[in-house]
């Protein structure tokens, strides 16, 4: 067939016009057959936006729904977070809904076995047991343990039920295990939680310093943005400061292999270098910074009922400069094992006025027995050099979970918190909360509740008798797990678990409630860069599964708190959001309206006059900065709007390798699995990609021990042991003298080996450091 | 001779009458129809005539909206 | 539970002997078998011997008579972000009932003689010819006119719903 030129152009015109038809504007909600077979790939396939269910990056996905089932996802090109890109977990999202063993009916344990029950039976039982426990043992004998994977409404309803209803502050979330040090780091340095910078920095920085952060696997979409920056700007450098070689190392311009805990010494040595070479930003420091020194030698939270209160003392710049003098490059070399010359190269990157630096970290700095300190110390470097609050120049604390920020940190589902950065210990804050909730202020308990580790210790001791666990799997994720599992299994403890699949946590439950997840319900998540994203319910949950928020409201009503939950059955998501939003207005944490989030691909708070704020504390972007100031840390009220540079020392971890237990143990995640694997292990290809946990050992250590690749060994600590297959040259390679084990595998519980020490300020456990030995299996 | 592709949206239930009205115009062809949407290819002797043709479509009774999705004139002159 | 542990141990033994000759893997899989659903990235059908994927997949190295499929997005360097090796011989952890959307089978032509629309998303597949002018891609429509090069001049993306792909 031959076209004339004219026919050819006509075809082009027709095709272009055809493709341009604004079919998306047609009303799809009627399930209309407006798309005949000829024009759509599949007329029954409908698409809508949602944030990814997995990590704190907050990628946008388009969810394809057909015949009431999710059948596909596609990266959302309109979402500025991921610009269409996803990782393999994101692409696998549809499968997490359809595992064959989804929980679809409430279950009640009787005679040791879980038996199906009706919602009424289950809800009445939970309400009765909680009520009875509060009456007999007081409000502090009940607890709610939630999650950074809670949607905002889940967390808000739980918080309101406990703090405005029961009068207990025992609301915690697994984000305590993941982000608490980031929170206390932000609060102590800047007076308010969450970053000043945002993802826009990835396209603007000249150097990315990763502090113990395997971004290529843990935040792969963001790492791809960094790689794209590096590809298009040849001078860009990636510095990988780590205790283990990882896939991230492959793209690093500099890999600094550091001993565990030595980050404290390194950050101080860099600060000293900046000061001694007189390359700190004098103007910035004199106008925006004060200096403080806190308590030292502060313990490790290993004993029950551990408590700690910091006592900051002011110091001058000269005193601070004096304080860091002991952290010479040589001292840092001795502690970290990194040659002084290499540390100096890293210090140069921070010191050089013309290099825009973004520091990134996640669990390496947060799951740290001095987590608050190391967060403070990295902020110090940015504050000393004035490399902060400027596009391309910022520290950025990455979050692990999809709504650790949006729900746990912003709503405040922690033992001492109220919404929008308020705390229960502050009478003004209690007053404001009581007003919004319409309860007498005395109802809000001024005494903080149990933090997560203490909460499970209290359950073990019997100080907590009833606990409700939602959207998390502590019987895999708690450190020193043996103790806490024994506690949960004790006779008179009442454990309720809201879950989507059977897990080791449902195994210890007295009542299991089937949950609706992700697009089986409406919800909001808030990601790392303060971006709040909304999604609609797109499919029906299986069987009788219901959202966690619905379950909480039902039980609260049955306990007599119906007046606190007057929401409509169809509209509670929106009503809860709008009520919660009232806490945020005028505080610098302002959220936008429900309608704005329905329309937008997320907005970064504060949202003021309908506009989001990419960079905080800087007049160019942030409407909260006072007139006439360029930069103002306005949330830090006690210092007159100045950030704090903290003098924090190096202190060793509580357990270090010795002759008997000669290796460091570090735990962590893998790209293919999400946390404890209860969702991703049910995806065939993800399970097959990484079917079980393993132990990575340095080949030289293995040779010394006479251990072969693939051999099964036992990793033992003073608390427990687990058998694992050895991987010598896998994706990751730990430095000599340390081993790495991922924690996703419920059949090989590395957390029976880990230590439950925590940062005294943030109460976040350190999963990255304890001492173990490697035992060869006896020939049998 | 310019050639233009125009996406026309007819008011509900009026696609058929709009289609006939467009077909009756000189230089216009409805090459495809999807629900209430019509794909129209318009050929006109000059750019001005093309624009006038587009405005005639907009003015037709039963047309809810119309949008130029494609426009080409240079190649046509050469060819 | 015990069964699950046993099965996953069997699975690992299989992985440990994932040393079959390359001809066992290459060219053995139908396109759809390697995808979770139509829009998902393909899995890696062979053991990952080294992690330099682009050595073979940037230009299409021929190994034992089989040409490695060329990636349409070599600029995205972290291949394992989306592509994983999943040995189908490893028993499942738990069964899963997910059924994904299938690949479109035929492209639509707005007019009988007109150029066909593109029945899939173009994003990350902008280099059309690596699939559509490669005889080793058995199940992909092959173009009759690869010399034209600028495919998107005539072939445009067919959209299910405008909001998915455009503001």
Per-residue pLDDT tens digits for A688-735: 999 999 999 999 999 999 999 999 999 999 999 999 999 998 899 999
* Nearest C-alpha in A relative to B66: A21
Q: Is the pLDDT of residue A439 over 50?
A: yes
A207-211/A511-514 β-pairing: unpaired
Which of A173-177, A485-489, A546-550, B62-66 is the least confident region?
Answer: B62-66
Confidence of residue C9 (pLDDT cuts 50, 70, 90): very low
User: Is A773 part of the annotated catalytic residue set?
Assistant: no
User: Is A401 part of the annotated catalytic residue set?
Assistant: yes
Whether A25 and chain C come into contact, CB under 8 Å, resolves to yes
Q: Is the pLDDT of residue A198 over 90?
A: yes
pLDDT the model gives residue A513:
98
Task: Give C126→chain B minimum CA distance, Å.
Answer: 21
Q: Which chains does chain C touch, 3 or more C-beta pairs < 8 A?
A: A, B
Cβ of A688 within 8 Å of Cβ of C86? The answer is yes
Contact indicator for A705, A111 with CB cutoff of 8 Å: no
Q: Is the pLDDT of residue B76 over 50?
A: no
Q: Is the pLDDT of residue A28 over 90?
A: no
| CA distances to A125, A147, A518, A598, C53 from A512, in Å | 11, 17, 19, 32, 45
Residues A464, A469, A472: CA angle, nearest 5 degrees = 135
| CA distances to A185, A319, A622 from A644, in Å | 10, 14, 20
Q: Is the pLDDT of residue A35 over 50?
A: no
Cβ of C88 within 8 Å of Cβ of A688? The answer is yes
pLDDT the model gives residue A168:
97
Whole-number Å distance between alpha carbons of A224 and A486: 43
Q: A19-56: buried (b, 16+ CB within 10 Å) or exposed (e) per residue?
A: bbbbbeebebeeeeebbeeebbbbbebbbbbbbbbbbb
- Identify the DSSP state of A609: T
Name the residue with tokens 């903080």: A448
pLDDT the model gives residue C65:
77
Residues of C in contact with B31 (CB under 8 A): 110-111
Residue of A401, A470, A533, A551 with catalytic role: A401
pLDDT the model gives residue A246:
96
Whether B32 and chain C come into contact, CB under 8 Å, resolves to yes
pLDDT the model gives residue B74:
57
Mean per-residue pLDDT of chain B: 83
Q: Which chains does chain A touch, 3 or more C-beta pairs < 8 A?
A: B, C
Whether C96 and chain B come into contact, CB under 8 Å, resolves to no
Considering only the C-alpha atoms of chain C, give the largest distance between any 2 of them, rounded to a whole number of Å.
Answer: 62
Q: Is the pLDDT of residue B49 over 90?
A: no
Residue of A315, A363, A679, A770 with catalytic role: A363
pLDDT the model gives residue A594:
96
Whole-number Å distance between alpha carbons of A242 and A251: 14
pLDDT the model gives residue A3:
60
Q: Can you give the length of chain B in residues?
A: 79
Confidence of residue C167 (pLDDT cuts 50, 70, 90): very low
pLDDT the model gives residue A19:
67
Residues A775, A777, A780: CA angle, nearest 5 degrees = 155
More confident residue, A148 or B13: A148
Average pLDDT rounded to a whole number, residues A199-219: 96
Q: Alpha helices of A37-170 — where are they, by DSSP H?
A: 88-91, 119-137, 152-160
Q: Strand pairing partners for B39?
A: B7, B32
Q: Is the pLDDT of residue C4 over 60?
A: no
- Identify the DSSP state of A540: P
pLDDT the model gives residue A33:
27
pLDDT the model gives residue C15:
46
- Identify the DSSP state of A23: G
Average pLDDT rounded to a whole number, residues C40-48: 91
Whether B69 and chain A come into contact, CB under 8 Å, resolves to yes
* Nearest C-alpha in A relative to B4: A13
Whether A21 and chain B come into contact, CB under 8 Å, resolves to yes
Q: pTM for the full model?
A: 0.87
- The dihedral region occupied by A268, where left means phi > 0, alpha psi between -120 and 50, and beta the remainder, is alpha
Whole-number Å distance between alpha carbons of A752 and A479: 7
Name the residue with tokens 């696998």: A92
Whether C110 and chain B come into contact, CB under 8 Å, resolves to yes
pLDDT over 90 for what percent of chain A?
A: 92
ipTM of the complex: 0.88
Which of A64-68, A335-339, B58-62, B71-75 is the least confident region?
Answer: B71-75
User: Is A325 part of the annotated catalytic residue set?
Assistant: no
Q: Strand pairing partners for A724?
A: A713
More confident residue, A658 or B47: A658
pLDDT the model gives residue A23:
44
Whole-number Å distance between alpha carbons of A435 and A580: 12
User: Is A179 part of the annotated catalytic residue set?
Assistant: yes
Q: Is the pLDDT of residue A22 over 60?
A: no
Cβ of A9 within 8 Å of Cβ of B75? The answer is yes
List of E strands, A426-503: 466-470, 494-499
């Amino acid at each position: 067939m031959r076209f004339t030129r004219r026919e050819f152009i006509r075809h082009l015109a027709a095709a272009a016009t055809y493709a341009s038809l604004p079919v998306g504007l047609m009303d799809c909600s009627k399930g209309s057959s407006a798309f005949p077979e000829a024009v759509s790939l599949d007329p029954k396939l409908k698409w809508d936006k949602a944030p990814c269910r997995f990590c704190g990056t907050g990628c946008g996905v388009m969810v394809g729904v057909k015949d009431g089932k999710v059948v596909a996802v596609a990266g959302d090109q309109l979402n500025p977070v991921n610009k269409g890109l996803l990782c393999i977990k994101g692409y696998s999202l549809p499968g997490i809904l359809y595992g064959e063993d989804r929980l679809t009916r409430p279950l009640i344990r009787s005679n040791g076995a879980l038996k199906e029950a009706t919602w009424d039976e289950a809800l009445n039982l939970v309400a009765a047991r909680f009520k009875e426990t509060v009456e007999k043992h007081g409000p502090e004998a009940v607890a709610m343990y939630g999650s950074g994977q809670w949607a905002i409404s889940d967390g808000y309803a739980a918080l309101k039920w406990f703090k405005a209803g029961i009068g207990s502050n025992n609301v915690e979330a697994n984000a305590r295990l993941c982000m608490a040090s980031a929170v206390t780091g932000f609060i102590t340095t800047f007076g308010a939680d969450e970053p000043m910078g945002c993802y826009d920095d990835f396209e603007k920085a000249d150097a990315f310093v990763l502090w113990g952060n395997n971004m290529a696997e843990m935040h792969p979409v963001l790492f791809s943005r960094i790689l794209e920056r590096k590809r298009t700007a040849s001078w860009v450098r990636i510095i990988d400061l780590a205790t283990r070689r990882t896939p991230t190392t492959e793209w690093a311009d500099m890999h600094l292999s550091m001993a565990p805990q030595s980050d404290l010494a390194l950050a101080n040595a860099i600060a000293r270098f900046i000061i001694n070479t007189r390359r700190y930003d004098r103007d910035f420091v004199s106008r925006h910074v004060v200096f403080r020194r806190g308590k030292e030698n502060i313990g490790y939270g290993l004993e029950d009922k551990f408590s700690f209160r910091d006592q900051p003392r002011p110091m001058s710049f000269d005193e601070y400069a004096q304080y860091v003098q002991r952290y010479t490059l040589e001292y840092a070399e001795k502690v970290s094992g990194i040659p002084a010359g290499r540390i100096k190269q890293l210090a140069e990157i921070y010191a050089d006025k013309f290099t825009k630096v973004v520091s990134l970290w996640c669990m390496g700095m947060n799951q740290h027995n001095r987590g608050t300190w190391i967060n403070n110390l990295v902020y110090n470097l940015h504050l000393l050099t004035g490399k902060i609050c400027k596009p391309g120049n910022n520290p950025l604390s990455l979050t692990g979970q999809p709504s650790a920020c949006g729900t746990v940190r912003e709503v405040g589902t922690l033992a001492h918190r109220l919404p929008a950065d308020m705390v229960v210990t502050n009478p003004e804050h209690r007053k404001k909360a009581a007003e919004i909730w319409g309860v007498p202020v005395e109802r809000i308990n001024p005494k903080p509740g149990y933090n997560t580790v203490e909460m499970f210790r209290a359950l073990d001791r019997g100080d907590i008798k009833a606990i409700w666990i939602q959207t998390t799997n502590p019987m895999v994720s708690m450190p020193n797990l043996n103790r806490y599992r024994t506690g949960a299994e004790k006779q008179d403890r009442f454990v309720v678990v809201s879950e989507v699949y059977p897990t080791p946590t449902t195994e210890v439950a007295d009542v299991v409630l089937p949950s609706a997840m992700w697009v089986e319900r409406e919800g909001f998540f808030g990601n790392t860069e303060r971006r709040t994203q909304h999604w609609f319910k797109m499919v029906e949950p299986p069987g009788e599964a219901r959202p966690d928020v619905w379950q909480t409201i039902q039980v609260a009503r049955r306990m007599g708190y119906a007046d606190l939950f007057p929401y409509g059955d169809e509209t509670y998501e929106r009503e809860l959001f709008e009520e919660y939003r009232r806490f945020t207005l005028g505080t610098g944490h302002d959220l936008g309206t429900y309608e704005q989030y329905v329309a937008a691909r997320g907005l970064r708070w504060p949202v003021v006059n309908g506009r989001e704020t990419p960079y905080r504390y800087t007049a160019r972007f942030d409407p909260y900065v006072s007139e006439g100031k360029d930069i103002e840390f306005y949330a830090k009220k006690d210092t007159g709007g100045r950030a704090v540079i903290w003098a924090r020392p190096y202190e060793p971890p509580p357990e270090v390798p010795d002759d008997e237990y000669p290796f460091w143990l570090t735990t962590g995640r893998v790209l293919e699995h999400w946390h404890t694997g209860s969702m991703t292990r049910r995806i065939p290809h993800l399970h097959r990609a990484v079917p079980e946990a393993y132990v990575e050992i340095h080949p030289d250590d293995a040779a010394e021990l006479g251990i072969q690749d693939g051999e099964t060994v036992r990793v033992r600590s003073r608390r427990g042991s687990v058998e694992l297959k050895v991987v010598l040259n896998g994706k990751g390679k730990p430095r000599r003298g340390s081993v790495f084990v991922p924690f996703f595998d419920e059949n090989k519980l590395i957390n029976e080996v880990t230590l439950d020490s925590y940062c005294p300020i943030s109460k976040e456990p350190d999963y990255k450091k304890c001492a173990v030995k490697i035992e060869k299996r006896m020939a049998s | 001779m310019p050639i233009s592709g125009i996406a026309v949206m007819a008011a509900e239930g009026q696609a058929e009458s709009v289609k006939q009205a467009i077909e009756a115009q000189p230089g216009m062809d409805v090459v495809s129809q999807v629900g209430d949407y019509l794909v129209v290819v318009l050929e006109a002797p000059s750019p001005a005539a093309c624009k006038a043709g587009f405005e005639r479509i907009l003015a037709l009774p039963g047309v809810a909206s119309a949008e130029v999705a494609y426009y080409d004139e240079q190649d046509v002159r050469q060819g | 539970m015990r069964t699950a542990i046993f099965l996953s141990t069997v699975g690992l033994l299989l992985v440990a002997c994932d040393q079959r000759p390359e001809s066992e893997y290459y060219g053995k899989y139908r396109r759809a078998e390697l995808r979770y659903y139509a829009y998902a990235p393909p899995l890696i059908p062979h053991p990952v011997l080294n992690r330099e994927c682009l050595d073979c997949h940037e230009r299409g190295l021929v190994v034992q008579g089989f040409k490695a499929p060329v990636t349409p997005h070599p600029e995205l360097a972290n291949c394992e972000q989306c592509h994983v090796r999943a040995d189908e011989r490893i028993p499942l952890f738990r069964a899963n009932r997910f059924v994904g959307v299938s690949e479109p089978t035929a492209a639509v032509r707005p007019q009988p003689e007109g150029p066909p629309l593109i029945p899939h998303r173009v994003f990350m597949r902008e280099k059309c010819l690596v699939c559509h002018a490669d005889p080793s891609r058995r199940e992909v429509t092959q173009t009759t006119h690869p010399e034209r090069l600028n495919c998107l001049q005539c072939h445009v993306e067919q959209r299910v719903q405008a909001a998915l792909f455009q503001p």
